[in-house]
Amino acid sequence: MKTLGLFFLTAIAEILGCYLPTLWLNHGKSVWLLLPAIISLAIFSWLLTLHPAAAGRVYAAYGGVYIGTAILWLWIVEGITPTAWDIIGSAVTLLGMSIIMFGNKIT
């Protein structure tokens, strides 16, 4: 559960760090949004270092959680209801993440 929570926080930091410049570039918001974006991306990088597993495994598994979190962001922040395909795709990637991170612990 700790691993999933850490992945989720990492995904929020990355998405926020990328979303804020989008608001500035595409929606005419303040250029000052770049400052919290930079901080958020720095936090994202730091959070990835907190996992005890090998970096490559962490990055691969993180991708699955990132996709699921991005679909939640789409729904909660952007107000767009996910399609069945969004949900199925997220479920598949989360299954892949679980296999990568926790498969070794089963045997």
| Domain layout of the chain by residue ranges | 2-106
Residue type, 54: A
Query: What is the model's pTM?
Result: 0.85
Q: What are phi and psi of 56, to 5 degrees?
A: -60, -40
Q: Average pLDDT for residues 25-31, to the nearest whole number?
A: 95
pLDDT digits (tens, 9 = 90+) for 86-98: 999 999 999 998 8
Alpha-carbon distance of 69 to 83, in angstroms, equals: 15
**pLDDT given at position 106:** 62
Alpha-carbon distance of 91 to 9, in angstroms, equals: 18
